[in-house]
Structure 1
Amino acid sequence: MNEIITSTLKDANRHLNKLNEQNAILKKAIFEVEESAQNTIREIDAIFDKIKNQINNIIETKRNKLKENTKSIQIKSITPLKQCKKVIENEIVSTEKYILSGQHLLNTTDELYSAEFEEQSKKLGSLPAVPTIEEIPFISFQYDLNDLMVEFETRINNIGNISQIGPIQITQHLERPGGCLIEWSELEVDDNTSFDIQLYNLQRSYGDLTLNPELEVNFKDCYTGSNCFYLAKDMRCNDVYTFRVRCLTENSTIWSAWSRPYVVSTHLKPFMWSSVSTDYKLTNDNTIATKCSTHTAIIYSDSAQFYPNYSIEFTILESSEPSKFQCIGLIDKPIPEEKNIIRQGTFVLSTTGQLFVDGNEKLTQLPKLDKNSKVIFSSELMLPDKLRITVENQNKTVTYDWIVDDPEQPLYFAACMDGQPWKLLVE
C-alpha cells in the first residue's frame, strides 16, 4: 500500500512541477502583453503629440503669413490715400484762408489787394485726383474648410495601425565565437495568409530591452536584405543583446510591425590569434595579426575554435607580394617549428588564389589576395568522416569535401606569411 502511495505522490509532484512551469510561462506571457500594450500606448501618445505640435506649428506659421500679407496690402494700399488726404487737407486750409481774406476784402477799398484776390481765384477750380470707392482695395480672406477638413480627417485616420503581433519573429539563435547566428521566419497564421516579402530589417541593441524598455533608443540596423538569417559579430562574451526584425512586402513602402524583442548572449570568446609567435604583433584583442619579421612564419589560432557549421572571415588589412606558399585556412592541429601549412590535415588558400586540401592543389582557383580582400571559410558536417568546406573570395565560391579523422571536433585556423607588411583580421 505504501508503495502505491509513494508512486502516486511522485506522479503528483511531477504534475505539480509541470503546472508550476506552465503557470510561470503564463505569468511571463501576461506581463509581456501588459508591458507591450503600455509601451504601445506611450508610443501612440508620443507620436500624436508630435503630430499635434507639428500641425500647430504649421497652422501658426500659415496664420502669421496670412496676417503679414494682409498688413502688407494694407500698407501698400493706404499709403497713397494718406498722401492724397494730406494734399486735400492742405488745400482745405488754403481755401479757408482764401475765404477769410475775401470776407475781409468786402470791408475794404484796397484795389491792389482786390487784384491779388482775383488772381488767386483761378486756383479754385483745381482739385486733387481722388480714387473712386470702387478703386479702393477691400481686403478679404478666402478659404474652403469643407474640402480641407475632409482631407485632413482622412489623413489623420490613416495614421498607424495596431498589430497584435509582427508577421516575422526571431525563431532561434546559435552561439558563435564573438557573435550569434540569428534566424527568423514568417509567423504562421490560421487564415493561411502569406506575404510576398521583399526585404528583412534586423536591428540590435545592447542590453535586455524586456527589462529596460528605455534601451529602445539604442537600436541600430545590423542587416537589411532577403536572407532569413544573419551572423551578428562584435558581441562581447556574456554580455546581453536584444534583437528585433521586421519585413517589407511587395508593393508596400511601409515596414511591418517589429517582432517581439529577442534577448541573446554568447559565451564563446571571439576568434583570436595565439600570442605565442614573436613574428606577429597582435592588436584589437588578438583579432588582428601584423607580420613583423622578414622570414617565413606561421601563426595559429589561440585554440581549436572552429566547429562544424561555423563560418570564419579573414580580412586582409595590409598586403605584400603574394606567393603560392603564403596561405590562410583551417588545420587539424599546430606542428611546432613547421614552416609550411600546405600539408596533410590542412585546408588552405594561398595568397595567389590556389586551394590546397591535405597538401594537394585543386584545379579551381580563386582571385589573389590583396589589401581589403575578405575570405570566408564555411563548414557543414557530412557524417561519418567528412566536412564540406566552402571558400568565398570576391564573390567567387568553391566547395570541396574534406575527409578528417573526427569531423565533430573543432579545428584550428592559421596563416603562413614570409614577409612584411601582411596584416590579418579574423572574425
Structure 2
Amino acid sequence: MSAEVDLLLQEAKESIEAAQNYRSELQLRLHGLNQARKQVRGSSSQAREALKRHFSELQSSASRLLEERLSALLLEVDSIEAESIKPLDDCQALIEHGVGQADELLREGEAALRCGLGEKEDKLGSFTKKALHIQLDSLPEVPALVDVPCVSAQLDDSLLGALKERVSRHGAVSSYPPVQIEELQERPGGVLVRWCKVDEDFAAADFRLQCRRSGTGGSQYEDAYIGREQEFLVLHLDAHTDYQFRVSARGEGRTEWSPWSIPQTGSTTLAAHEWCPGTEGYVLSSRRNIALRNDSVSRCCVLYSRGPTYFCGQTLTFKISAVGALDHRDSLGVCVDDSRGEESLQRDQAVCISTNGAVFVNGKEMTNQLPALVLGAAVTFDMEMVSVQPGLHGDGASVAKLRVTIGSGNREVVFDWLVEHSLDALFFGCSFAHSGWKVLVF
C-alpha cells in the first residue's frame, strides 16, 4: 500500500511540475502575444500620425503655393492694366482739352457775330486768328479696339486632373517593411549585421543601416552604412553593451527611403583587436586598431597584437589603408607567441602572407600564391579545429590540427597547420621593412 502511495505522490509531483512548466510556457507565449499586439497597435498609431502630419503639411504647402501663384497672376493683371490705361488716359486728356478749346472758340465766334458794327471787324479778325491757331482740322488718333489689350486669364483645367491622379497614388501603407535584419553576429569590437528583402517586388537600389546605443543614456540613431551590399560590419562598439540596429531601402530611381525595419538588439562580448603600443617603428591610432610604419628605425621588426585575442571560428581581417615599398620580409598573419626580436612572421609557429602575395607556414613558402597587396586590399584569416593528435615527443602534450583559410582579393589558399592544443587563442602581427604601410585590423 505504501508503495502505491509513493507512486501516486511521485506522479502527482511530476504532474504539478509539468503543470508549472506548462503555465510558465503559456505565460511566456502570452507575453510574446502582448508584445506582438503592442507592436501592431503602436506601429498603427505611428503610421496614422505620420499620415496626418504629412498630408497636413501638404495641404498647407499646396494652399500657400496656390495663394502665391494667384498673387503673382493678379500682379501681372495689375501691371498690364496700368501700362495699357496710361496712353488711353493721356489721349482722353488731350481730347478733353481740345473739346474745351472748341467750346471756348464757339462762344467767342457767336459773340463776334452778335456784336455791333463798330467792333465786329475786330472781333471777327481776332476770332479767325484764334481759329487758325487751334488747327481745327487736326484730330488726335484714337486706337482701335483690336490694338488695345484685352486682358484674359488662361486656366488649364487639366491641373486638377493631374493633381487628382498624383494624389491618388501618393503614399502607401504596408504591413511589413520591405527589408528586415536577418542576423547579428558578434565580432571583436563590433557586430556583423546581415539583412534581406521580405518584399520581393521591391526593387532595392541602396540599403541604409543605422545603429544606436540601447538603454538609459542611449544615443540617437546614426548612419553606419549606405550602399548596395546586404551585410556590414559595424565596428568601434563597446563590449557587453547593447546596441539597436535598423535598416531601410531605397527603390530604383527613388529619392525617399522605405520604412525602417523592426529594430534588433545586438552586442559583442569580444574586445576589439588592438596592436601593442610601444613598438619601435610603428605609430598607432587612438583606438590602437590602425598601425602606421614610420621611418624612425631602419631595421625591420614585428608589431604584435596587444594579447592573444584571435580565436578559432572567427574571421580576422587586415585592411591596407596605405602602401610603401615592397620587401621580401614583409608579413601579415597569426602566430602562437609574441617573440621579441623577430624581424618577420616568416618563422616557426606562424602563418602569414607577404606584401608580394607569398604565403608562409612555419617559415616555409607555399607554392600557392595570393595577389600582391595594394591600396584598399583586405586579407582575411579563418581557422577551424580539425582534430587533436598525440604529441610527437611522447611528453603527453597534444597537437591540434587547424584548417587555415587565407583570402585576398578573389582568391584564397587552404592548408592544415599543427599547433599546441593547450593554446586558447593566438596572437596576430605584421612587419614592414619600409615606411608608408598602414594597416587596419578587425
Classify the TM-score, shorter chain.
0.7 to 0.9
**Residue identity opposite 2:269 in structure 1:** H
Over 3 Å counting, the alpha-carbon distance change for 1:99 and 1:257 in structure 2 is same
**Residue 360 (1) aligns with residue 367 (2):** no
How many Å separate the matches in 1 of 2:206 and 2:81? 58
2:336 pairs with 324, 332, 335, which one? 332
Aligned equivalent of 1:391: 407
**Once the 2 structures are TM-superposed, how far is the Cα of residue 53 of structure 1 from its aligned partner?**
3.0
1:172 pairs with 183, 196, 199, which one? 183
How many Å separate the matches in 1 of 2:302 and 2:248? 44
Q: 3-state SS of the aligned residue for 1:244?
A: strand
Q: 3-state SS of the aligned residue for 2:183?
A: strand
Aligned equivalent of 1:233: 235
**Residue 93 (1) aligns with residue 93 (2):** no
Over 3 Å counting, the alpha-carbon distance change for 1:213 and 1:283 in structure 2 is closer
Which piece of structure 1 moves more, 151-160 or 166-175?
A: 166-175
Aligned equivalent of 2:127: 117
Contact residue 336 and residue 426 of structure 2 kept, 8 A: yes
How many Å separate the matches in 2 of 1:275 and 1:353? 27
**Residue identity opposite 1:20 in structure 2:** Q
Contact residue 308 and residue 408 of structure 1 kept, 8 A: no
Give the root-mean-square deviation of aligned CA atoms: 3.2
Q: 3-state SS of the aligned residue for 1:296?
A: coil
Contact residue 239 and residue 265 of structure 1 kept, 8 A: yes
Contact residue 342 and residue 356 of structure 1 kept, 8 A: yes
Cα displacement string for residues 386-418 of structure 1 (whole angstroms, at most 9, x for unaligned residues) = 3341322xx443322232445995432101233
**Residue identity opposite 2:310 in structure 1:** F
Cα displacement string for residues 97-130 of structure 1 (whole angstroms, at most 9, x for unaligned residues) = 2223224323352524422312333422322111
Contact residue 172 and residue 184 of structure 1 kept, 8 A: yes
Which piece of structure 1 moves more, 283-292 or 58-67?
A: 283-292
**Once the 2 structures are TM-superposed, how far is the Cα of residue 21 of structure 1 from its aligned partner?**
1.2
Contact residue 196 and residue 250 of structure 1 kept, 8 A: no
**Residue 403 (1) aligns with residue 425 (2):** no
1:297 pairs with 290, 297, 301, which one? 301
**Once the 2 structures are TM-superposed, how far is the Cα of residue 73 of structure 1 from its aligned partner?**
1.4
1:205 pairs with 208, 211, 225, which one? 211
**Residue 18 (1) aligns with residue 25 (2):** yes
For structure 1, the 5+ residue unaligned runs are: 188-192
Aligned equivalent of 1:129: 141
Alignment of 1:20-169 (within 5 A): 20-105=27-112, 106-107=114-115, 109-122=119-132, 123-145=135-157, 147-169=158-180
Aligned equivalent of 2:279: 277
**Residue identity opposite 2:378 in structure 1:** V
Q: 3-state SS of the aligned residue for 2:325?
A: coil
**Once the 2 structures are TM-superposed, how far is the Cα of residue 426 of structure 1 from its aligned partner?**
2.1
Contact residue 249 and residue 257 of structure 2 kept, 8 A: yes
Cα displacement string for residues 246-270 of structure 1 (whole angstroms, at most 9, x for unaligned residues) = 4567898876543212222223222
Which piece of structure 1 moves more, 310-319 or 320-329?
A: 310-319
TM-score (norm 1): 0.85
How many Å separate the matches in 1 of 2:274 and 2:15? 55
Over 3 Å counting, the alpha-carbon distance change for 1:200 and 1:341 in structure 2 is same
**Once the 2 structures are TM-superposed, how far is the Cα of residue 157 of structure 1 from its aligned partner?**
1.2
Aligned equivalent of 2:395: none
How many Å separate the matches in 2 of 1:5 and 1:224? 61
How many Å separate the matches in 2 of 1:208 and 1:33? 22
Over 3 Å counting, the alpha-carbon distance change for 1:388 and 1:198 in structure 2 is farther
Greater gyration radius: 2
How many Å separate the matches in 2 of 1:360 and 1:169? 47
Which piece of structure 1 moves more, 81-90 or 338-347?
A: 338-347
Aligned equivalent of 2:225: 222
Q: 3-state SS of the aligned residue for 1:150?
A: helix
1:346 pairs with 327, 343, 350, which one? 350
Over 3 Å counting, the alpha-carbon distance change for 1:356 and 1:94 in structure 2 is same
How many Å separate the matches in 1 of 2:203 and 2:76? 51
Aligned equivalent of 1:190: none
How many Å separate the matches in 2 of 1:410 and 1:48? 59
Question: How many aligned residue pairs are there?
Answer: 414
How many Å separate the matches in 2 of 1:297 and 1:320? 16
Which piece of structure 1 moves more, 235-244 or 80-89?
A: 235-244
**Once the 2 structures are TM-superposed, how far is the Cα of residue 59 of structure 1 from its aligned partner?**
1.3
Cα displacement string for residues 117-159 of structure 1 (whole angstroms, at most 9, x for unaligned residues) = 12333422322111244543332223243x3222211111101
Aligned equivalent of 1:379: 382
**Once the 2 structures are TM-superposed, how far is the Cα of residue 61 of structure 1 from its aligned partner?**
2.7
Q: 3-state SS of the aligned residue for 1:383?
A: strand
What percentage of aligned pairs have identical amino acids?
22
Cα displacement string for residues 339-396 of structure 1 (whole angstroms, at most 9, x for unaligned residues) = 33112332212123322233222334445446x443321415363433341322xx44
**Once the 2 structures are TM-superposed, how far is the Cα of residue 287 of structure 1 from its aligned partner?**
1.4
